[in-house]
Amino acid sequence: MEALLQNIKMSLEYIEKWFSTFPSRETVIRMILDGTAEKYSDTYVMHFHTAELLVEMGYPSEVYELIKDTRYTHPNATRVIEFAEQIKNITSSLPD
C-alpha cells in the first residue's frame, strides 16, 4: 500500500510541475486543443480521458475536430472513435 501511495504522490507531483509551466488554465486548454502542449510532455496529451474532460468543460466542437479522423489514423483506438461519434450525435451542428 505504501508503494502505491508513493507512486500516486510522484505522479501528482509530476502533473503539478507540468501544469506550473503554463500561466493559466485557459492557456493549457488552448495548447492542448491546438497541439502545442505536446512539446512540453513526454506522453501523448490528447488521449481519451483528456478529450472526455475537455468536452465536459464545454469544448465539444474543438475536441471533435481533433478526434474525428481517429477511425482512419488509429483504427484500434475504439474508445476515442466511439467518443467522436457520441460528440457528433449530441452536437448536431458538427460537420462530418
Same domain, residue pair 35 and 50: no
Q: What is the pLDDT of residue 69?
A: 92
Return the DSSP state at 23.
Answer: S
Q: What is the pLDDT of residue 91?
A: 80
pLDDT band at 14 (very low <50, low <70, confident <90, very high): confident
pLDDT exceeds 80 at position 96: no
Same domain, residue pair 13 and 56: no
Domain containing 85 equals 46-96
With cell 502505491, the residue in question is: 4
The chain-wide mean pLDDT, for the chain, equals 88
* Mean pLDDT value across residues 10-37: 89
3-state secondary structure of 44: coil
How many Cβ atoms from other residues are within 10 Å of residue 77's Cβ?
16
C-alpha to C-alpha distance for 96 and 90, rounded to whole angstroms:
13
Same domain, residue pair 51 and 92: yes
The domain total for the chain is 2
C-alpha to C-alpha distance for 34 and 26, rounded to whole angstroms:
12
